[in-house]
Structure 1
């Protein structure tokens, strides 16, 4: 018994010495999946992921100005590629392919084909800032393809990121909004309200890339997180929120 206790104590000391932290910048659309993945990552590796959520465009500016992030989970693939070209990171991979949804907290308000946009019987339509948020850019591309951009533009309520766009719709400040499917979908079904899942053909693919930033290149926890996100358990969680992997 004494030998077992000594062994257990020794393992605990080694595990504690090995475990570390990684500072992770997470695109707002990926908040819910990452909040589920972070404790799984901690249990299975002993490392802690310290999460910050926001718009990809703002994270890019912060990283360029020396923010202490070690891993970026972007809402696009262009920003990580730009950071890599600038010599600020590497080891990029696509961790998720996002889906756009037109959503209302009111059941039955949004039909399955998105015809509610053509009827125009609403005052406000929430979108994320298309200059900063890839989901906002996808929303603009969608309404342009529908031939409704000029008709709907006066109704736009613009959030800095997709989290704010969802908040506008969730609080009723906008009758409906273009949001990330992951914000309103979990466990293979819609959480509440009504939605049109925008066909992928309506906009450019929302490929979301991860990049190991320079500040994390010598951090074992950062490398471990990059590996973990490519594993089967993480991919299953990501798909359960409506993403493709």
Structure 2
């Protein structure tokens, strides 16, 4: 009997030692790293983060990837996991509202007028996988530049790769997330155009709890910490709007 109790205790300890596995949309990488780091310090719970395109994560989670939480760049992908019975009912919640910018390191984007001028490549995230890419397509459509720009698109699998295309000079300009250009609560470059919000649908970013992860103490602790003033300050410092705030 004692050996059985010891074995069950060992299994319990091993389960508790397993890190909280969190899938995070690429645009939210920097704030999530800061939030998770502080959470680990305060709670003692280990956190394992993975960053990528929201669409890719949905495919991975659907096929059994062992994530406990999914922080998407939109609302439709968490909803798809709920509809499939993969995410916990009632767990979907908006954690941030994103902003889109046009970035051109070598010159002033001129309130978007640069899109009418000569350039070789325009970077944007794949609109089928990444919500920021879909938002970029909406902007180009509203500006009547969709067809004329298509031949010059270079598409990143996610917004992180899109940022790299522009940073490396492989594209002279690109649509990226405002959060990628923020440092200590301020833009770290002047070569941006904050795209007016009326040119694209609001980028509501939602999270869900996967399967039975809601039963884990670290899941509940992390979601509670995400509502803390510390986490809220971090999220705002990267240019996001919190739910309930004016956009």
Q: Same fold (TM over 0.5)?
A: yes
Picking from 155, 164, 169, the partner of 2:166 is 169
Inter-partner Cα distance in structure 2 for 1:193 and 1:157? 23
Match of 1:243 in 2: 240
Inter-partner Cα distance in structure 1 for 2:37 and 2:212? 23
Match of 1:94 in 2: 94
Inter-partner Cα distance in structure 2 for 1:71 and 1:131? 22
Match of 1:75 in 2: 73
Give the secondary structure class of the aligned counterpart of 2:151.
Answer: helix
Picking from 110, 113, 130, the partner of 1:133 is 130
Deviation at 1:109?
2.8
Inter-partner Cα distance in structure 1 for 2:18 and 2:64? 21
Inter-partner Cα distance in structure 1 for 2:71 and 2:224? 13
Give the secondary structure class of the aligned counterpart of 1:131.
Answer: coil
Paired residues of 1:20 and 1:47 also in contact (CA < 8 A):
no
Inter-partner Cα distance in structure 2 for 1:218 and 1:99? 33
Give the secondary structure class of the aligned counterpart of 2:61.
Answer: helix
Paired residues of 1:104 and 1:193 also in contact (CA < 8 A):
no
Deviation at 1:187?
2.4
Paired residues of 1:26 and 1:52 also in contact (CA < 8 A):
yes
Give the secondary structure class of the aligned counterpart of 1:217.
Answer: helix
Inter-partner Cα distance in structure 1 for 2:120 and 2:77? 33
Q: For each residue in 1:9-57, what CA deviation from the matched residue of structure 2 results, as whole angstroms up to 9, or x when unmatched?
A: xxxxxxxx97762000010111111111111111122112210000000
Give 5+ residue unaligned stretches, structure 2: 1-14, 243-247
Picking from 215, 218, 227, the partner of 2:215 is 218
Q: How does 1:19-58 map to 2 (within 5 A)?
A: 21-58=19-56
Inter-partner Cα distance in structure 2 for 1:93 and 1:228? 14
Q: Does 1:152 align with 2:149?
A: yes
Aligned-CA RMSD value? 1.7
Normalising by structure 2, what TM-score? 0.87
**Aligned residues, how many?**
227
Normalising by structure 1, what TM-score? 0.88
Paired residues of 1:22 and 1:216 also in contact (CA < 8 A):
no
Paired residues of 1:103 and 1:193 also in contact (CA < 8 A):
no
Match of 2:196 in 1: 199
Paired residues of 1:25 and 1:53 also in contact (CA < 8 A):
yes
